[in-house]
Amino acid sequence: MVRLTIPPNAICPEFRGSTIDIGIRIQDSTANAPEYPFDDGSTNKCYIESQLDKQYIIDFYITNNNRLSDPEYRLLPGCIYLKAEVHIDGKWMNSPILCQQGCSQIFGKVEASYERPFVFSAPTLVRDGGLLDKKDVDQLGTIVVKLWPIQLNGSSSYSGGTSNSNSSTVNEKAKKGVFISATTKLGAPDTTYVPKFSKSIKLTNEPLLIHTFHYKTREFLELEGIIPEPRPAPAARNDASNPAAPIIPNVKPEPVKVKSERSSYAGVGTGSSTNSQKRTVPDMDSEVEYLGQTTPKKRVVDVIDLTLD
């Protein structure tokens, strides 16, 4: 997960000095996908590995030592919360209201009475139609999270439409010279999930922070040098390129007399040693910390904000 410091703002003192951890996790995995930083040192974006045809979850964890106005997450009108506005591949997907402290999660795109999970998928290439504009194509393979301070006004009903479940289609001409290894499609509806909806007011003109996850398959991450390629396995000791050395038995032969001088031969023993390597991770002195693995927390029912700006 990445750890981001929530910028101080006089309009939301409830979150002064707080941090938020955000991570992408493959469903049924116990750890978030590791993040890989950009070469330019940017702290508002990172790379992660995607696994095709796997569902994934967006995890949030807020560390907040301030006095909370709603510690039990009852969604009280008039209280101030943080809203996570999520866009995937350039499309709005979800805007849940997060707990003031602790764990929140996004499992998919919420519609009127069900939820559709996020699934990593290979892009679909077409000769006619599909995405052709560079601006649209550049947004493929991205998960953008915008954090807003909001004041809750009360409950609401669903006012959105149905969404397309297919992965993004890309025109072949647009993909030339562009590395697009994965997009996101929506899985089958989960009718066991009952969503809640609310009305709220954004308290700032701009989000408090924005973080972008650029996701690619492992092969493309290695191809672009973002992560190192695996080292080839060492050659076997007894293969043709490394013939086995003769084994000298550790047996002391009988003494041999030569011109009244005696010489004896001592056997030569064999031994082996194993070299161990310890990997270290450099410390990063910035507002963003790459935490690697984080155990997922218990799912909390999220509340979707449908306020029209």
Residue-wise pLDDT for 70-101, tens only, equals 999 999 999 999 999 999 999 999 999 999 99
The pLDDT > 90 percentage for the chain reads: 53
- In the numeric block, which tokens belong to residue 155? 């409950």
Please check whether residue 279 lies inside any domain of the structure: no
> Domain for residue 215, yes or no?
yes
Confidence label for 127 from pLDDT (cuts 50, 70 and 90): confident
Is 242 a member of any domain? no
Residue 181 has pLDDT above 70, yes or no: yes
Task: Give the Cα separation of 141 and 46 in Å (integer).
Answer: 12
* DSSP H or E run through 134: helix 134-138
Determine, yes or no, domain membership for 263: no
Domain count, the chain: 1
Whole-prediction pTM value? 0.73
**What's the confidence (pLDDT) of residue 268?**
39
pLDDT at 307: 56
Identify whether 239 is part of a domain: no
Our separate counts of H helices and E strands in the chain read 3, 20
- What would the pLDDT profile of 208-252 be if each residue is shown by its tens digit? 999 999 999 999 999 999 998 777 767 665 555 555 554 455 555
Torsion of CA 131, 133, 134, 140, to 10 degrees: -30
Domain assignment of residue 163, given as a range: 2-229+288-305
CB contact set of 289 (below 8 Å; sequence gap of 6+): 2, 3
281 secondary structure, DSSP code:
-
- Separation between Cα atoms, residue 109 and residue 95, nearest integer Å: 9
Is the residue at 93 inside a domain? yes
Scanning the structure block, which residue is given the tokens 């439409």? 161
Query: Residue 209 falls within a domain, yes or no?
Result: yes
Query: Does residue 32 sit within a domain?
Result: yes
What is the pLDDT, as a whole number, of residue 284? 41
